[in-house]
């Protein structure tokens, strides 16, 4: 196809985009309108957990589309029932509400906690969240987020989201008062720069929330569904939260999200929650296909093996170029660059020829890696080789 920048004038300008149009994707690879191939370590922001257009998703979509696309959320459908049961059988949760995006699932979690607070805590409604957290782009989830500047763009904010510091239990304790109903966090802050909550902190949070009889909500939109080396990241710290949200990886690329909770917390009554597309069979059939793939023998051990390998290769790269090391959990990792060359590296990587490389820099001194969970060792090696050459060029001033 042909593409001129003016062809995009009908779109609202919400983010600067490069002058390329992606036309095809397969596994870890994307192809643009000029036929150039890119090794994709972003995967739609940790969304394509099985890579681009995996066979199991193509099959689930085509099979289901021929049968039934949407009977309405007022009726049961078979994929919705099957997927809800698969999720409760493989997590500590008892009840599921399906949604279409991470922000929508988090809105549901906030509503569920406030409803529970009405019933059990005298109308307590405050949910403690964290600096640098990211929970979505609706008004309430922007207010819950700890992104610098987000408190003023669409002021006034939704009230009731005091902020604490990650891995600082005293800062959480300080925020607790009679109005507190829950604490909500990402087990690893993704957009904030791949900052893991320590297992000790997660355990201390669980103890603290139990002591004060308030809820613990994990936003696993980015960390869940195998991303961190376990099916869900809360399992890394051996705790059981009261509420969890999932999106991104759960749909392997299609819009699907879920709000899960323990039986004691499932206090919605008819009229409280819903949505036209919530639980539609086309998307929930994909969710089942994705989760079954992750549950197949050997899949998660292989994710852990590749995580360890990516971590060791990033550390080696850091040693080679005198960078600041790496961090993360599972296949959600960051390379600490030690200087603000992240955006320059992202741009140079994409513009490289003949093969491009897609990377993400959530902070200028950081690169984030979120490959498909079935990335191969050879693809990791290829990425590391391309990145090494780029860092060499940028450090030597050859690349601009």
Minimum Å distance from CB 247 to ligand PLP? 4
Specify the residue, 218 or 387, whose C-beta has the smaller distance to ligand PLP: 218
Specify the residue, 189 or 307, whose C-beta has the smaller distance to ligand PLP: 189
Specify the residue, 201 or 390, whose C-beta has the smaller distance to ligand PLP: 201
Binding residues for ligand PLP, per CB under 6 A? 101-103, 106, 134-136, 186, 190-191, 219, 221-222, 247-248
HSE-CB of 136 using CA atoms within 13 angstroms: 25
* Distance in angstroms (rounded) separating the CA atoms of residues 326 and 19: 31
* Distance in angstroms (rounded) separating the CA atoms of residues 163 and 218: 15
Minimum Å distance from CB 360 to ligand PLP? 12
Q: What angle do CA 277, 279, 282 make, to 5 degrees?
A: 80
Structure tokens at 30: 């994307």
- Contact 226/300 with Cβ under 8 angstroms? yes
Minimum Å distance from CB 220 to ligand PLP? 8
Q: Residue holding tokens 């957290």?
A: 133
Minimum Å distance from CB 255 to ligand PLP? 8
Minimum Å distance from CB 216 to ligand PLP? 15
* Distance in angstroms (rounded) separating the CA atoms of residues 293 and 311: 24
Specify the residue, 104 or 326, whose C-beta has the smaller distance to ligand PLP: 104
End-to-end CA distance of the chain: 29
Q: Closest residue to ligand PLP, Cβ-based?
A: 102
Where b means 16+ CB within 10 Å and e means fewer, 37-61 reads ebbbbbbbbbbbbbbbebebbeebb
Minimum Å distance from CB 74 to ligand PLP? 24
- Contact 360/368 with Cβ under 8 angstroms? yes
Specify the residue, 93 or 134, whose C-beta has the smaller distance to ligand PLP: 134
Torsion angle (degrees, nearest 10) of CA 76, 49, 245, 135: -130
Specify the residue, 54 or 108, whose C-beta has the smaller distance to ligand PLP: 108
Q: Taking the CB of residue 35, how many other CB atoms lie within 10 A of it? A: 8
Greatest alpha-carbon span in the chain: 64
Q: What is the DSSP letter of 122?
A: T
Minimum Å distance from CB 217 to ligand PLP? 11
Minimum Å distance from CB 344 to ligand PLP? 24
Specify the residue, 136 or 287, whose C-beta has the smaller distance to ligand PLP: 136
* Distance in angstroms (rounded) separating the CA atoms of residues 96 and 229: 23
* Distance in angstroms (rounded) separating the CA atoms of residues 89 and 77: 19
Q: What angle do CA 162, 166, 171 make, to 5 degrees?
A: 55
Specify the residue, 77 or 106, whose C-beta has the smaller distance to ligand PLP: 106
Q: Residue holding tokens 């995006």?
A: 101
HSE-CB of 312 using CA atoms within 13 angstroms: 8
Minimum Å distance from CB 143 to ligand PLP? 13
Specify the residue, 250 or 341, whose C-beta has the smaller distance to ligand PLP: 250
Minimum Å distance from CB 251 to ligand PLP? 9
């Amino acid at each position: 196809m042909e593409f001129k920048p003016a062809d995009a004038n009908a779109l609202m300008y919400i983010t600067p985009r490069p002058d390329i149009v992606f036309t095809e994707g397969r596994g870890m690879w994307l192809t643009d309108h000029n036929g150039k191939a890119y090794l994709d370590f972003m995967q739609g922001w940790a969304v394509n957990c099985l890579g681009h257009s995996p066979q199991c998703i193509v099959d689930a979509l085509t099979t289901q589309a021929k049968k039934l696309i949407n009977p309405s959320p007022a009726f049961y459908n078979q994929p919705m029932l099957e997927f809800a049961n698969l999720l409760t059988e493989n997590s500590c949760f008892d009840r599921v509400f399906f949604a279409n995006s991470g922000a929508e699932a988090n809105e549901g979690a906030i509503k569920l906690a406030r409803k529970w607070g009405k019933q059990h805590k005298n109308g307590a409604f405050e949910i403690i969240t964290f600096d640098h957290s990211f929970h979505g782009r609706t008004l309430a989830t922007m207010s819950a987020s700890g992104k610098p500047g987000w408190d003023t763009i669409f002021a006034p904010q939704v009230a009731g989201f005091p902020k604490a510091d990650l891995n600082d239990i005293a800062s959480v304790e300080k925020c607790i008062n009679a109005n507190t109903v829950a604490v909500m966090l990402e087990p690893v802050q993704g957009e904030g720069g791949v900052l893991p909550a320590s297992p000790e902190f997660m355990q201390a949070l669980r103890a603290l929330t139990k002591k004060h009889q308030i809820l613990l909500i994990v936003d696993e939109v980015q960390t869940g569904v195998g991303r961190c080396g376990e099916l869900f990241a809360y399992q890394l710290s051996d705790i059981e939260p009261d509420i969890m949200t999932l999106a991104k990886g759960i749909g392997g690329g299609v819009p699907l999200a879920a709000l899960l909770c323990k039986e004691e917390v499932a206090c919605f009554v008819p009229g409280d929650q819903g949505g036209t597309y919530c639980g539609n069979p086309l998307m929930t059939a994909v969710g089942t296909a994705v989760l079954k793939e992750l549950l197949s023998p050997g899949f998660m051990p292989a994710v852990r093996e590749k995580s360890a390998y990516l971590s060791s290769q990033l550390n080696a790269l850091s040693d080679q170029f005198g960078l600041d090391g790496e961090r993360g959990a599972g296949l959600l990792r960051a390379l600490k660059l030690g200087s603000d060359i992240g955006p320059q590296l992202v741009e140079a990587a994409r513009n490289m020829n003949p093969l491009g490389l897609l990377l993400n820099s959530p902070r200028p001194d950081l690169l984030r890696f979120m490959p498909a969970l079935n990335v191969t060792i050879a693809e990791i090696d290829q990425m590391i080789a391309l990145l090494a050459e780029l860092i060499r060029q940028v450090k030597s001033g050859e690349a601009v």
